[in-house]
Amino acid sequence: MRINRKLIISIGVIAIIIISYLVIDSILFNGIKPKPINENGFQVNFFAKENIENKTAVVLIGGGQWGDYWSQEIANKEMVGISLPYIGKEGLPNLPEEIDLEYFESALNWIRKQKSVDPKKIIVMGASRNAELALIIASIFPDMVSGVIAYTPSSVSWSNTVLPYNSNELKASWKYNGIDIPYLPMTKISGNDTEKIRMLDYWENGLSKIDSTHKSHIKVELIKGPILLFSGVDDKVWPSAKMADMIENRLTNNNFKYNFKSIKYQNAGHSISTNPKQLSDLRIGKININGKNYEYEFGGTAEGDLNAKKNAYLQVFEFLLNIKND
């Protein structure tokens, strides 16, 4: 039988390309590749060096590129990074409303059983609304979570209607055992005759309607571990520095016995949780309200955000080192 010489050459070329790619990839990539986990109803990207045991683990609430970036950084420092999405992927809810906290409970139970993880040193970390969720998770599951890192945090749990693409029906954002996590009910943000929206006004208006006894305040005093907060004084998305102060006041009033640190950065806005090695020129966000596109400011300056990110990065690993050595 005559073998097609062109076919053999083509197969050989393809094989060389594949081998070359694998060799180059192994040379250029000096990080830790994730192990995707999709079982027991939850999904994670699990980052850990081989053969490590009993290490501090950080769960990045929200997952995505942000979660993978931080998980990689954490794993490179002899810990375990776990990027945990909960919406927007196949098999997960499309919208952040009525999210069952049992999802995170299942993930935490699985994480605690991993040989590489010290079950007494599991930290949850989030930014913006995922910081809200991280604080709630730590308060609901205090015996499973050993501390919290929250960038541009919220002091309250908000209703689903704070996001214009969610359903119009007022619902809790989070639930546990079929019961709503108490929330601050909000009407949806309204458009206007301009092309810009002042996001900060929307959230501050909501906060102005409640006092310190309102049931929507996150019960941060129930958290059994240290808490680290970062906020930008010039945050124009929502009043993260103000809400960080509200969290601090609640902890103080309840004689919180664990370490607490709130760092507020001048000239910094909402986008301070991303890669500190990258200077971002993204100063404006876009949002669609009732079919019309609007722009909104993140706040801060490019230099202010970068300085905040660099300092916060150092603070994160100092925080984790203290937990590791505790």
Q: Are residues 117 and 205 in the same domain?
A: yes
The enclosing domain of 219 has a CATH number of: 3.40.50.1820
Q: Which domain holds residue 162?
A: 33-325
Q: Do residues 23 and 113 share a domain?
A: no
Report the pLDDT value the prediction gives residue 40, as an integer from 0 to 100: 84
Is residue 136 domain-shared with residue 5, that is, in the same domain? no
- Same domain? For 264 and 172 the reply is yes
The total of structural domains in the chain comes to: 2
* 19 and 153 both lie in a single domain: no
82 in the same domain as 19:
no
Looking at the chain, the whole-number percentage of residues with pLDDT higher than 70 is: 91
Q: What is the mean pLDDT of residues 81-87?
A: 98
For the chain, what percent of residues have pLDDT higher than 90?
Answer: 84
Spatial separation of the C-alpha atoms in residues 210 and 284, rounded to whole Å:
30
pLDDT in tens, 41-77: 899 999 999 999 999 999 999 999 999 999 999 999 9
19 and 48 share one domain: no
Residues 25 and 170 in one domain: no
Q: In terms of domains, do 22 and 38 share one?
A: no
pLDDT digits (tens, 9 = 90+) for 112-167: 999 999 999 999 999 999 999 999 999 999 999 999 999 999 999 999 999 898 88
Tell whether 22 and 102 lie within a shared domain.
Answer: no
If asked whether residues 12 and 60 sit together in one domain, one would say no
pTM attached to this predicted model? 0.90
- Residue-wise pLDDT tens digits, 153-194: 999 999 999 989 888 999 999 999 999 999 999 999 999 999
* Shared domain check, 81 and 16: no
